[in-house]
Amino acid sequence: MDSLQKLGYSKDTKLLIVHADDAGLSHSENRATMHALQNGFVNSYSIMVACPWFYEMALFAKENPQYDNGVHLTLTCEWENYKFGPVLPSLEVSSLVDSNGYFFKKRDRLLKYASLQDVEKELRAQVDKALKFGLKPTHIDSHMYSVGIDLKFFEIYKKLGEEYRLPVLINKSLLNMVSLNSDFFIAEDDFVIDATYFGVFNNFEQGKLADYYSEALKNMKEGLNLVLIHPAYDDEEMKGITVNHPNFGAKWRQIDTDFFTNRQNRLKLEENNIQLITWREIQRAIYF
């Protein structure tokens, strides 16, 4: 059964989640995410429990239960001068951290050194921390899609979704992004997002990131779709975090914020017969 059937929609329906990654990464990221939820057409976000600004975003989530919020499972830290590590003591998950106790910068290092036991312990601890804080997450997804670098990691990811009764973000193009063959990772009974749209560096470098989003909305197909963005402000905080990292850097994140809070862009949903749907509705359809 395809996603539309599972959700009770006809086969010609265009469903869309506009999802903001990386909430909790920074104050700038939090402020922009809140703005996009309250004044734009972003209708989902996920929180990096392991990051320093988790507390601020978690308070917002508790005070604003009308918005979807997921747990952005985190096993890597890609930034040059801004670091964070596991929620568990680093000695308890030593295979996940570098010599300073921080997450590895790149996925290949994680793949080389991480033990399955430590991966599961830390990912479970991140979900548990969100629940202990009083959050009611609607789904789980993955920072840099690091859970997709190994089939055994991916099985842990799906197992946690089943145990906590939370939908997990599964999509072929995201698996392809981390250079994996989705045919080996996606099972017949998995709930799968039909199409995920996310900008690539070439779009940004050519000044066409906003054009990419416009075209994605214009040409969106029937099925369950997701647009994946990273709203933040191009301010001193984000410039410091993303130094020497223009890919998903401060300027990029400002473009995401501006596009998805623009009223004219929101009209593109109606113009293209696109209906917003939430992870909460998906959660009810799968588990309740």
Distance, CA of 30 to CA of 165 (rounded, Å): 26
Whether the CB-CB separation of 28 and 34 falls below 8 Å is answered with: no
Sequence letter at residue 66: Q
Inter-residue long-range contacts of 180-183, CB under 8 Å, 24+ positions, other chains counted? 180/148, 180/149
Q: Is the dihedral of CA 165, 170, 29, 125 positive or negative?
A: positive
pTM flag (> 0.85): yes
Task: Quote the pLDDT of residue 178.
Answer: 76
**Listed residue (154, 140, 69) closest to 107, CA to CA:** 154
The two tokens of residue 287 are 């588990």
DSSP SS3 for 198? coil
Question: Torsions phi, psi of 44, nearest 5?
Answer: -160, 150
Residues 173, 46, 203, 205, Cα dihedral to 10°: -130
The CATH code that applies to domain 3-287 is 3.20.20.370
One digit per residue, the tens of pLDDT, for the chain of length 288 reads 589 988 999 999 999 999 999 999 999 999 999 999 999 999 999 999 999 999 999 999 999 999 999 999 999 999 999 999 999 999 999 999 999 999 999 999 999 999 999 999 999 999 999 999 999 999 999 999 999 889 999 999 999 999 999 999 999 988 888 777 788 889 989 999 999 999 999 999 999 999 999 999 999 999 999 999 999 999 999 999 999 999 999 999 999 999 999 999 999 999 999 999 999 999 999 998
- E strand intervals along 74-192: 140-142
What's the CA angle centered on 184, arms 183 and 187, to 5 degrees? 80
Distance, CA of 84 to CA of 142 (rounded, Å): 16
Whether the CB-CB separation of 180 and 148 falls below 8 Å is answered with: yes
Domain ranges of the chain: 3-287
| DSSP alpha helix (H) spans, 95-171 | 107-113, 116-132, 151-164
